[in-house]
């Protein structure tokens, strides 16, 4: 699903040291690790403690109570079968379908969810958002010209032609930039 060097592979390698051998077979552990390391406000990724506190303290999550330790066990594959309520709360927190966390989506559906995550991460950066919004309403040939100009700048700066994981959608490295803002107002 991901090419070598993609952000998900980096997230998996970063988490590899504290994962159980069974975690490699756990789509839930993989996907939670990906979301924790990718879907967060500019700066540092969410912590288990922060997510547990947000979910447990928010009525919008259906009154679910979850602990930092339980989230850790889900992320390292020691627990692989959370209740439907916990899955719904986690999916709502990260704004993804529950089926994505369960591994019930087809590979193409899961890739589409991950493309949307990368897009949301890219759109946190105020400058990226400004460039994208300014192109709205321009004729397709002008948008194509802008894409060519951006590609030329990327080449001049020795950057890859497409951001990591772009696959036709806006890609991002997760940094959000100095003027970035969190999606959904979460911090």
pLDDT digits (tens, 9 = 90+) for 55-92: 998 889 989 999 999 999 999 999 988 999 999 999 99
pLDDT digits (tens, 9 = 90+) for 92-143: 999 999 999 988 888 999 899 988 988 888 887 788 888 888 999 999 999 9
Helix axes 68-75, 48-57, angle to 10 degrees: 120
Cα separation, 187 vs 183, in Å, equals 9
pTM reported for the whole predicted model? 0.62
Residue 50 class from Cβ within 10 Å (0-12 exposed, 13-18 middle, 19+ buried)?
A: middle
Residue pair 34/94 in contact by the 8 Å Cβ criterion: no
Distance CA 172, CA 164 (A): 7
Q: Report the alpha-carbon distance of residue 10 to residue 34 in Å, rounded.
A: 9
Q: Are 51 and 72 in contact (CB under 8 A)?
A: no
User: What confidence tier does 4 reach under pLDDT thresholds 50, 70, 90?
Assistant: very low
Residues in the chain: 187
- State pLDDT tens for residues 133-184: 899 999 999 999 998 999 999 999 998 887 765 544 333 333 333 333 333 3
């Amino acid at each position: 699903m991901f090419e070598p060097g993609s952000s998900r592979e980096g997230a998996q390698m970063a988490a590899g040291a504290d994962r159980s051998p069974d975690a490699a077979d756990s789509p839930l552990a993989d996907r939670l690790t990906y979301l924790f390391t990718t879907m967060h406000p500019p700066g540092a990724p969410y912590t288990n403690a922060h997510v547990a506190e947000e979910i447990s303290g928010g009525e919008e999550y259906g009154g679910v109570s979850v602990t930092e330790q339980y989230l850790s066990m889900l992320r390292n594959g020691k627990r692989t079968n959370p209740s439907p309520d916990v899955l719904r709360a986690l999916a709502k927190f990260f704004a993804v379908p529950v089926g994505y966390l369960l591994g019930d989506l087809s590979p193409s559906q899961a890739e589409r969810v991950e493309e949307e995550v990368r897009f949301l991460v890219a759109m946190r950066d105020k400058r990226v958002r400004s460039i994208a919004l300014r192109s709205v309403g321009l004729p397709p040939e002008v948008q194509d010209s802008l894409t060519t100009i951006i590609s030329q700048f990327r080449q001049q700066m020795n950057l890859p032609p497409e951001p990591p994981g772009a696959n036709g959608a806006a890609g991002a490295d997760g940094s959000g930039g100095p003027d970035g803002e969190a999606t959904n107002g979460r911090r």
